[in-house]
Structure 1
Amino acid sequence: MTKKIITAAGVLVSALALSVSTAGPANAATGFTAIRGCGTTGAYGDMSATNWHGPEATITIKFTLTDTAADGNSVRMRLVSKDTFGRIHYWPWRTNSQGKDKTSTWNTTASHPNGLFDIGIQVARVNGDGSTRNQCADW
């Protein structure tokens, strides 16, 4: 009986340590805020994610994307995340095609059945055929 209690306590402590290490200085009531941003030729994007209190959280995200070049190309950005197995999940692109010095903003949420253990963004400039011209990422 004592061995089972000690084992259960060890599993609980390990799970708690994993939750804290993957979510930063988390607070169960308010969560952690993650800020990511990067720029590449023609585009700059950033993201703030709040309520990140552990891998099982549904985070609130604000994306901001600015076209910085008068080149006729659209710019886009997306969330990227890693799950409990270390696999990268590429979320759908969000596109700004308004032209130079125009900024688009999106507010959304994200969660994943395999957890959000790390989050980042990709920002890209897009050719007329939809292919990526250049990009950056921030984890």
Structure 2
Amino acid sequence: MYTMILDPWAMKKARSRFSRLIRPIGVAAAAISLTLVASGTASASTGVGKCSTTGASGEIDVYNWVDSGSRIDFHVGFLDTLADGHHARARLITKNFVGNQVTWPWHSDTDGANNGYTYVDSYAINDTGIYQAGIQIARFEGDTLLNSCTGWVS
């Protein structure tokens, strides 16, 4: 068994010397960390895509679209713009790195025309990558698509 006897005065001097030696290293490490964090943030892409068609309009805001490209977070806002008895729908569309298009599930606004935006916050993951993202806005009668538009994020 070992017993260590600590001299408080010696400890204070050691801490002081240690602080003088380590503080510059800590500042340099913090600067490097901030540089890495900033460059990581800079690699995330953002963008907006929007379109309007007869009876429906909307947009998508894509954020946290990192270089690896397998996940995006997005915010969609869309609305029914025509009092015609039909309803508006919106969905995310993506393309992977070889150009294959993926259509994601529809979100509906069945509350009637000009009642304000319907909002959706979600994310998409595609293991084959997400090279492009956009929004498809459409006007439907039941499950029949009447007309639509596509707006790619730029």
Q: Same fold (TM over 0.5)?
A: yes
- How many Å apart are 1:56 and its aligned residue? 2.9
Q: Rg: which structure is higher?
A: 2
SS in 2 for 1:28: helix
What is the CA–CA distance in structure 2 between the aligned matches of 1:97 and 1:57, rounded to whole Å?
32
Change (3 A) 1:124 1:97: same
Answer yes or no: is 1:114 the counterpart of 2:131: no
Unaligned runs of 5+ in 1: 1-26
- How many Å apart are 1:126 and its aligned residue? 0.1
What is the CA–CA distance in structure 1 between the aligned matches of 2:69 and 2:136, rounded to whole Å?
22
Q: What is the Cα-based RMSD across aligned positions, in Å? A: 1.3
- How many Å apart are 1:55 and its aligned residue? 4.1
Unaligned runs of 5+ in 2: 1-38
- Mapping of residues 14-25 of structure 1, within 5 Å: none
What is the CA–CA distance in structure 1 between the aligned matches of 2:70 and 2:102, rounded to whole Å?
16
Question: Who is 1:88 aligned against?
Answer: 101
Q: 2:137 aligns with which of 119, 123, 133?
A: 123
Question: Who is 1:99 aligned against?
Answer: 112
Conserved in 2, the CA contact under 8 Å of 1:81 and 1:116? yes
Q: TM-score, normalised on structure 2?
A: 0.69
What is the CA–CA distance in structure 2 between the aligned matches of 1:40 and 1:136, rounded to whole Å?
6
What is the CA–CA distance in structure 2 between the aligned matches of 1:46 and 1:97, rounded to whole Å?
18
What is the CA–CA distance in structure 2 between the aligned matches of 1:80 and 1:42, rounded to whole Å?
20
- How many Å apart are 1:116 and its aligned residue? 0.4
Question: Who is 2:149 aligned against?
Answer: 136
SS in 2 for 1:98: coil
CA deviations 1:75-119 (Å, max 9, x no partner) are: 101111111221000111111111011221011111211000011
Question: Who is 2:66 aligned against?
Answer: 53
Conserved in 2, the CA contact under 8 Å of 1:75 and 1:97? yes
- Higher relative helix content: 2
Question: Who is 2:11 aligned against?
Answer: none
Answer yes or no: is 1:32 the counterpart of 2:12: no
How many residues in Structure 1 have an aligned counterpart in Structure 2?
Answer: 112
What is the CA–CA distance in structure 1 between the aligned matches of 2:68 and 2:86, rounded to whole Å?
36
Q: TM-score, normalised on structure 1?
A: 0.76
What is the CA–CA distance in structure 2 between the aligned matches of 1:110 and 1:118, rounded to whole Å?
12
Matched to 1:104, the amino acid is T
